[in-house]
């Protein structure tokens, strides 16, 4: 995990995202809300009782995960509750942990986190920077699929077109390396395929697939694969990615 200290899911001061997380705690600082906003029958009674006891910075990961186990009741979740929890959720993500035991994709979906009109200009600016920096941070091959992170931000309310524009701006070699990792690494030979999380909703799922198999992206990968200065290992990985893209788009 990235930047973990003795207390679970706390970010080290040496972590590149530490300063941004500190800003999040500052701009989202608010009084403790009156309610957790989730069904008590779904969550641990002791955790419910002690939920607001620690300072938000010290809220244990297990407590946050138990909170995600509870259904929001009544819907929608009060903004006061989400505002209170949000900086801790961002820190948990930055520390390489998952706030929800269900899937990372649902982390920011209990409130329209990515909708600027819900926040002050400064809060919205911090969220925008976090989204962009975290997406870049997720590009190098690592556990968990890049598509899951993309979906997390979309379910959190960020516009899909903007998210895909960001992905499209990534260096071609880094993007090819990441897709090969997600589609091929550890997969039974012959069963390699495009990874799209089950949490995508339509029409977003179709839009992501169209982007992933687009002629523009294919052309970039073809140029990389054929370039004389491309490392042979990367060239082979890129060729494998191109073959998967071709199958998915109906081309042989």
* Residue 7, pLDDT score: 59
pLDDT digits (tens, 9 = 90+) for 139-191: 999 999 999 999 999 999 999 999 999 999 999 999 999 999 999 998 989 89
* Residue 39, pLDDT score: 83
* Residue 134, pLDDT score: 98
* Residue 210, pLDDT score: 97
Compute the Cα dihedral for 108, 114, 116, 121 and give only its sign. Answer: positive
* Residue 252, pLDDT score: 39
* Residue 46, pLDDT score: 75
* Residue 235, pLDDT score: 98
What whole-number distance in Å separates Cα of residue 228 and Cα of residue 163? 31
Name, in order, each residue with C-beta under 8 angstroms of 62's C-beta and a sequence gap of 6 or more: 8, 47
* Residue 8, pLDDT score: 86
Given a cut of 70, the residues of the chain with pLDDT beneath it are 1-7, 251-252
């Amino acid at each position: 995990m990235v930047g973990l200290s003795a207390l679970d899911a706390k970010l080290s001061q040496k972590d590149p995202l530490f300063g941004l997380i500190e800003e999040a705690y500052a701009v989202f600082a608010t009084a403790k809300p009156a309610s957790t906003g989730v069904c008590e029958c779904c969550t641990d009674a002791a955790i419910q009782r002690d939920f607001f006891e620690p300072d938000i910075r010290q809220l244990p990961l297990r407590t946050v995960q138990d909170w995600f186990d509870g259904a929001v009741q009544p819907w929608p979740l009060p903004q006061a509750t989400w505002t209170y929890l949000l900086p801790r959720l961002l820190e948990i993500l930055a520390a390489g942990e998952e706030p929800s035991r269900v899937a990372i994709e649902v982390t920011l979906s209990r409130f329209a986190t990515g909708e600027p009109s819900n926040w002050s200009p400064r809060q919205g600016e911090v969220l925008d920077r976090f989204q962009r920096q975290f997406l870049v941070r997720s590009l190098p091959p690592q556990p968990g699929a890049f598509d899951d992170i993309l979906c997390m931000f979309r379910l959190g309310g960020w516009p899909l077109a903007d998210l895909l524009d960001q992905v499209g701006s990534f260096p071609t070699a880094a993007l090819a390396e990441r897709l090969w990792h997600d589609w091929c690494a550890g997969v039974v030979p012959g069963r390699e395929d495009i990874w799209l999380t089950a949490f995508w909703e339509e029409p977003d799922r179709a839009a992501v697939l169209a982007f992933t198999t687009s002629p523009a992206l294919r052309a970039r990968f073809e140029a990389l694969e054929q370039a004389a200065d491309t490392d042979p290992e990367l060239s082979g990985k890129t060729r494998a990615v191109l073959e998967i893209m071709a199958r998915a788009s109906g081309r042989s």
